[in-house]
Amino acid sequence: MHPTDFTLRGALDALSEGTISSVELTQAHLDGIAKLNPRLNAYITVTAEKALAQAKASDERRAAGQVGALEGIPLAIKDLFCTAGTRTTAGSRILDSFVPPYESTISQKLLDDGAVFLGKANLDEFAMGSSNTTSASGPVENPWSRANDPDTRLVPGGSSGGSAAAVAARMALGATATDTGGSIRQPAAFCGIAGIKPTYGRCSRFGVVAFASSLDQAGPVARTVEDCAILLKSMAGFDPKDSTSADLPVPDFAKACERGVKGLRIGVPKEYRLDGMAPEIVALWEQGLQWLRDAGAETVEISLPHAKYALPTYYIVAPAEASSNLARYDGVRFGTRVTEPGSDLRDLYERTRAAGFGPEVRRRIMIGTYVLSAGYYDAYYLKAQKVRALIRRDFEQAYADVDAIVTPATPSAAFGMDEKQDDPVAMYLNDIFTVTANLAGLPGLAVPAGLDAQGLPLGLQVIGRAFDEETVFAVGRTLERAADFSALPRLRAGA
C-alpha cells in the first residue's frame, strides 16, 4: 500500500507497529504535494523542512516511548490558523507577509499531540466564499472531475477548499478547517471526504483569524468519520484565551463512532425538501434514511419553519461581524500598507484596504457597515438577531422529539471554476443546508454517501444537539459504513 493511502487511523497503527516511520510517511506526502500542488494549488505555503524535522523528532519520541495521540501524523493547516514563525495569509493580500509571533490554540494542541505540519492550506479570502476562487493565492482545483467531461476543472468548495482538496488528493492525512456558514461541510462534500463543524464553543478560536465571531468554529476534515473523531479529540477543549470557549469535558469521540443508531430518532426537516432539488440529491437523502432505519433507527418528519430565512439572516449577521473584525486591517500595525506620496492617515487606510482586500471581502465589509450604520441597525441587524433566535428555537423544539437530524450536505455536486461567479446570491445558496447549524451553534458533520451521474461525490449532513457530537459521530459512522464510499478522485498522490 502506498503510504499516502493510509487513513489517519491506519497510519497510527502502522507507526505503532513500526511498519513505517513518520519521516517516511511525511516524505511520501511531501512527494505527493510536489507532484500535485502545482496544479491543484491546495497549499499556499509548504513547510517541507519543518515537516521533516518534526517527523524526525516524532520518530525519536516514539523510540523513547513518548507517543502522543497524533504522533507522527502529517496534517495540513488551513491558512487561517496562526502558526508561529510560519506565514499566515488568510488568503488575503492584506496579510501577504504576515508571520505570526504566536501559535493558535488548536494548532498548538495538535503539535502537543505529536502531529507534523506539512504546510498551510489555501482558502477563500478571510474564509468568505463557497468555491475557493477568492483566494489571493489563486483558486484551488478539486481533484475530482466529471466522468463525461474530465477537462472542466471543478471547484473544491469553500472556504476550506485547500484543506478538503489536500485530504482528498492524499496530500495530507487530515486537515484543520473552519466553518462559519458551511466552510467545512460543503468542501468536504464536494471532495468526497468527511468533515465536522463542532458545537460553537467546543474548539478555541484563539489564534484563528476572525471572520464572524459568533458563527466561526474550527473543526477537522479527513477521509473517514473516525479520523475526524480522532482529530477533533485533539483539537477540542476549554481555553481561557477564548471567552466563548466551553468549559466542558471532551468525550472520546472515536469510541462514540461505534455506538450504532439502534433506537435513535432521526429528524427529517420537511422545509429542506426544496422545489427543483436535483433528483439524485433527493434519492441519496432517501437512501441515507433507509440505511439508518435498516440499522435500527426511526425516522421522523420534523418542521424547522424558519429555516428558509437562515441564509438572509446569515448575510446580515456575518457581514456585520466581519466589518467589525476586519477593521483591524488598517496598514498600521501589521500587514500590507499602501500609500501615495502625500497620503494622510485616512488616505493610507482607504488605499490599504482597497488594495489589500479582494472584491468579495470589500462587498461584505460594505454590507456589514451599512446594516450596522445609524438608522438601519434595528431594521437589519436587530431583526436578523431576532430571526436567528427563532431559528435556534425551531431546533430546540425539534430536539425535544429527535436525537439528530439528517439532511443533504449541499444542493449540488461540485461545479465548474467559472460557474456561479457573476451572481453573489447564487453562490451564497451553496450553504442553504449548512448555515442553520452555525446560526443555532449546533454540530454538523458531512459524510460522503454516493456519486452523482457524472461520478462526483455527494454528501449527507448530520446535525446534532449542542455538545452532542457523540451522537453525530454515531449516525455519521453508520451512514459511512452503509454507503461504503470507495470511489477515488482522478488526481491523487500515489496514483
Partner 1 sequence: MSLDTATIRRIASLARIRLDDSEVQQAQAEINGILGWIEQLQEVDTDGVEPMAGGSPVAQAKARLRPDVVTDGGQADAILANAPDRQGEYFGVPKVVE
By CB under 8 A, tell whether 198 contacts partner 1: no
> Could you tell me if 442 and 464 are in contact, meaning their C-beta atoms sit under 8 angstroms apart?
yes
Helix axes 225-235 and 105-112, enclosed angle (nearest 10)? 110
- Check residue 170 and give left, alpha or beta (phi > 0: left; psi -120 to 50: alpha): left
Residues within window 271-290 making contact with partner 1, judged by CB under 8 A: none
Nearer to partner 1 by Cβ, of 56 and 393: the residue is 393
By CB under 8 A, tell whether 333 contacts partner 1: yes
Q: Closest separation between CB of residue 413 and partner 1, Å? A: 24
By CB under 8 A, tell whether 323 contacts partner 1: yes
Residues 254 and 13: their CA atoms lie apart, in Å, by 14
Binding partner 1 (rule: CB under 8 A), the pick from 146, 153, 362, 481 is 362
User: Residue 371: enclosing H or E segment and its boundaries?
Assistant: helix 359-371
Binding partner 1 (rule: CB under 8 A), the pick from 126, 211, 433, 467 is 467
Q: Closest separation between CB of residue 281 and partner 1, Å? A: 23
User: Do you find a cis peptide bond into 21, omega within 30 degrees of 0?
Assistant: no
Phi, psi of 374 (to 5 degrees): -55, 130
By CB under 8 A, tell whether 420 contacts partner 1: no
Residues 449 and 464: their CA atoms lie apart, in Å, by 18
Residues within window 68-107 making contact with partner 1, judged by CB under 8 A: 97-99, 101-102
Binding partner 1 (rule: CB under 8 A), the pick from 303, 386, 401, 490 is 386
By CB under 8 A, tell whether 309 contacts partner 1: yes
Given the rule CB under 8 A, which of 16-24, 189-197, 266-274, 362-370 is the region that contacts partner 1?
362-370
Residues within window 427-466 making contact with partner 1, judged by CB under 8 A: 441, 466
By CB under 8 A, tell whether 126 contacts partner 1: no
Residues 24 and 3: their CA atoms lie apart, in Å, by 8
Of the candidates 131, 183, 204, 234, the residue annotated as catalytic is 183
- The owner of cell 488575503 is 92
Nearer to partner 1 by Cβ, of 6 and 329: the residue is 329
145 is a catalytic site residue? no
- Torsion sign, CA atoms 432, 450, 31, 111: positive
159 is a catalytic site residue? yes
By CB under 8 A, tell whether 421 contacts partner 1: no
* Distance set, CA 351 to CA 90, 322, 333 (Å): 19, 19, 15
Of the candidates 22, 58, 78, 163, the residue annotated as catalytic is 78
Residues within window 199-218 making contact with partner 1, judged by CB under 8 A: 199-201, 213-217
Q: Closest separation between CB of residue 436 and partner 1, Å? A: 13
By CB under 8 A, tell whether 240 contacts partner 1: yes
Considering CB under 8 A, how many residues would be counted as binding partner 1?
Answer: 73
Binding partner 1 (rule: CB under 8 A), the pick from 38, 423, 484, 486 is 423
DSSP 3-state helix, strand, coil percentages of the chain (rounded to 5)?
A: 40, 15, 45
Taking the mean position of all CA atoms in its chain, how far away is CA 184? 2
Nearer to partner 1 by Cβ, of 71 and 216: the residue is 216
DSSP 100: -
Q: Closest separation between CB of residue 190 and partner 1, Å? A: 24
By CB under 8 A, tell whether 150 contacts partner 1: no
Nearer to partner 1 by Cβ, of 145 and 204: the residue is 204
- Torsion sign, CA atoms 404, 407, 410, 413: positive
By CB under 8 A, tell whether 328 contacts partner 1: no
Nearer to partner 1 by Cβ, of 285 and 357: the residue is 357
Phi, psi of 453 (to 5 degrees): -60, -25
Classified as helix, coil or strand, 360 is: helix
By CB under 8 A, tell whether 324 contacts partner 1: no
Residues 413 and 406: their CA atoms lie apart, in Å, by 18
By CB under 8 A, tell whether 244 contacts partner 1: yes
271: CB partners within 8 A, 6+ apart: 303, 304, 305, 307, 308
Single-letter amino acid code for the residue at 98: F
Tell me the DSSP string of 253-271. HHHHGGG--TT-EEEEEGG
Of the candidates 104, 131, 159, 160, the residue annotated as catalytic is 159
How many alpha carbons lie under 13 Å from residue 468 in its C-beta half-sphere?
A: 15
Given the rule CB under 8 A, which of 65-73, 122-130, 150-158, 196-204 is the region that contacts partner 1?
196-204
Q: Which residues are catalytic?
A: 78, 159, 183
